[in-house]
Amino acid sequence: MCDCLFCKFSNGEIPVEKVYEDGNFFIIRDINPQAVNHYLVIPKKHFKYLSEMTEEDRANLGEMLAAIPKLEKLLKLEGGYRLVINQGDDAGQTVPHLHVHLLSGQKMGWNPAG
């Protein structure tokens, strides 16, 4: 059994409202939103770092990113959106399962150092 919050969301061990799901990934709302709309786009397969990806993971991640603009209406992306992937301690990664933050619904500033 995987001791990882997002794996537990993925396999249903911990219930969570999934805004969208397919065979490859799922989308939930972030519990601590940093924008009007703050979603987490999460591959179902567990890995922490981009550097760990297999060929299959690369293909899956590409499909996941390609799916995002197709969900424009559902995720309210009409005005634009921002994607963020935190990697490691300096970036503040807190969940060791790769995920893409998707922020939308407002004008956003740019302060990468937070």
Under the binding rule (CB under 6 A), the answer on residue 95 touching ligand AMP is yes
For 84, the 3-state DSSP assignment is strand
| C-beta of 30 vs 57, nearer to ligand AMP | 30
Pick the catalytic residue from 38, 46, 97, 99: 99
| C-beta of 68 vs 98, nearer to Zn ion | 98
**86 token code pair:** 């935190």
- In DSSP terms, which residues pair with 54 in a beta bridge? none
**16 token code pair:** 């969570």
Under the binding rule (CB under 5 A), the answer on residue 16 touching Zn ion is no
Whether 81 and 35 have beta carbons less than 8 Å apart is answered as no
Site string for Zn ion, 40-79 (x = CB under 5 A): ------x---------------------------------
Alpha-carbon distance 76 to 105, whole Å?
A: 7
What part of residues 52-91 is at the interface with ligand AMP (CB under 6 A)? 86
How many other C-beta atoms can be found within 10 angstroms of the C-beta atom of residue 36? 12
Give the interface with ligand AMP as residue ranges (CB under 6 A): 5, 28, 30-32, 40, 86, 92-95
